[in-house]
Structure 1
Amino acid sequence: MSNTVDLIISFPYFGVLITVAAFYLGQRAYIASNRKAYLQPVVFGMVIVISLVLLLDVPFQVYYESSYLLSAMLGPATVALAIPLFQNARRIRELILPILCTVIVGSIFTVGVAVAIVWAMGGSELTILSMPTKSITTPIAMIVTEDIGGIAALSAMCVLLTGALGAMVGIPIMNRLGIKDAGIKGFTLGLTSHALGTARALEEGEECGAFSALAMGITGVMTALVLPFVVLFFT
């Protein structure tokens, strides 16, 4: 059994195979459940991959190197989000001022609440410095967190948890609140739940996905540019 496991793990694209297979199973389960929020394919697949890596005792570095092909495709996939943005460019231009104001206020609020909760619970300075990037996409979050003196791994975990939670409950909550505008739904998901929220927004439609991608991009850039100076000012 051990030899079989070692053989599987040694396969160069082991990480790619289990990640794609996990997402496929998650997609099938999501469709079969009539798209239940708690069975989001990304979240479901993430749980399967983590479980397999732990069960097979695969070192993270081995998994990461064998799944690098997928990581390399994140860049082109992100750039592809420009397509729905271009298709909705007219409405975005009309709302550019409210969009920028919403990003500024929303970003400050989400970061402020997260930091305040950790501080109130007695979190260490390192933990507090790892929280402000929780609502931007993982690659940017890890770099910015390292620059301001936080823990990149902790930041990545917070990003994943934030995105997963937003993808699962964001749309149901907005539906309960009577929010019907696709642009508002998408922008809210992108602002608070970055890439995972955007993936969920794209399921709602092209306009929802476009506004989510826009919010994710602006929030990420603004946080990366401003946060290091804010932390430097207060330290």
Structure 2
Amino acid sequence: MTAIWTAIVGHPLFVLGLTLLAYQLALELYQRSRWLLAQPVLVATLLLVGALWACGIGYPRYRQESSLLWLLLGPATVALAVPLQQNLPRIRQLFWPVTIALLVGGTITVALTLGLAALFGADREMLMSLAPKSVTSPIAIALAEQMGGIPALTAVFVMITGVLGAVLGPLLLDRAGVTSPAARGLSLGLSAHAIGTAQALQEHPEAGGFAALAMSLAGAFSALALPLLLG
């Protein structure tokens, strides 16, 4: 029995299957409970970390054997253009308010992040790892590497930012009395990138479209501006 279990755990597809299973269980839990703290990415991460620890699988092996998921991350992000296209007339109607909100919000987000990190004594390498934390993973990792940050650390910051934004964002927007799907989607996409966009899509199709727009434009703006300003 031990030999069989060792063979299963050692199989190259075991890690990939474990990841998919963890997410499917987390998604099922969220759909049944609709509890914001049961956000699928957060719960799946906790389940996966516990399973990897129990199986004695380290991060280097996990990263290597789950590379297919990383490869699909880019196309999955691009696919978020579908809700954007479906809400294009509404986006055109609100073009200037959206543009101003994205520029101001994106600038303040980066400035506050770097300012607080510097205040607590973070070195340049840490600052460059933190700067793209509100951008979707493929862009953030490339930016961190280009600016002298630590890509692996940036990936963690991006995930934490997305999960916290998706969990706390709707609560804060409710407390602030924000009911417009466009405004809610814009906020979630700007602050919590792809995970926030997924949350916005569950709230309302229009929120999903504006979240995809915010995530896309914030990523493009960061890719152009951050290396020039901080490189």
TM-score by length of 1: 0.92
Q: Deviation of residue 225 (structure 1)?
A: 1.0
Matched-pair contact (CA < 8 Å) for 1:167–1:189: yes
Aligned to 2:185: 186
Q: Deviation of residue 164 (structure 1)?
A: 0.6
Q: Deviation of residue 206 (structure 1)?
A: 1.1
- The secondary structure found in structure 2 opposite 1:73 is helix
Matched, 1:26 2:15: no
Give the alignment of 1:190-205 within 5 angstroms. Answer: 190-205=189-204
The residue type equivalent to 1:219 in the other structure is: A
Matched-pair contact (CA < 8 Å) for 2:74–2:138: no
Q: Deviation of residue 52 (structure 1)?
A: 1.4
The residue type equivalent to 2:37 in the other structure is: Y
The residue type equivalent to 1:229 in the other structure is: L
RMSD: 1.6
Matched, 1:12 2:12: yes
Matched, 1:83 2:82: yes
Instruction: List runs of 5+ in structure 1 lacking aligned partners.
Output: none
- The secondary structure found in structure 1 opposite 2:42 is helix
Q: Deviation of residue 20 (structure 1)?
A: 1.4
Aligned to 2:128: 129
- The secondary structure found in structure 2 opposite 1:150 is coil
How many residues of Structure 1 are paired with residues of Structure 2 in the alignment?
231
The residue type equivalent to 1:158 in the other structure is: F
Matched-pair contact (CA < 8 Å) for 1:15–1:64: no
Q: Deviation of residue 27 (structure 1)?
A: 1.5
Alpha-carbon separation, structure 1, partners of 2:209 and 2:19: 26
Aligned to 1:168: 167
Matched-pair contact (CA < 8 Å) for 1:14–1:67: no
Alpha-carbon separation, structure 2, partners of 1:133 and 1:169: 20
Q: Deviation of residue 127 (structure 1)?
A: 1.1
Aligned to 1:120: 119
TM-score by length of 2: 0.94
Matched-pair contact (CA < 8 Å) for 1:5–1:56: no
Q: Deviation of residue 130 (structure 1)?
A: 1.3
The residue type equivalent to 1:163 in the other structure is: G
Q: Deviation of residue 97 (structure 1)?
A: 1.8
Instruction: List runs of 5+ in structure 2 lacking aligned partners.
Output: none
- The secondary structure found in structure 2 opposite 1:130 is helix
Matched-pair contact (CA < 8 Å) for 2:136–2:215: yes
Aligned to 1:48: 47
Alpha-carbon separation, structure 2, partners of 1:127 and 1:2: 43
Runs of 4 or more above 4 Å deviation: none
Matched-pair contact (CA < 8 Å) for 1:133–1:141: yes
Alpha-carbon separation, structure 2, partners of 1:59 and 1:78: 27
Aligned to 2:35: 36
Task: Determine what percentage of the aligned residue pairs are the same residue.
Answer: 38
Aligned to 1:109: 108
* 221-230 vs 53-62, greater mean Cα deviation: 53-62
Alpha-carbon separation, structure 1, partners of 2:122 and 2:77: 34
Q: Deviation of residue 5 (structure 1)?
A: 4.4
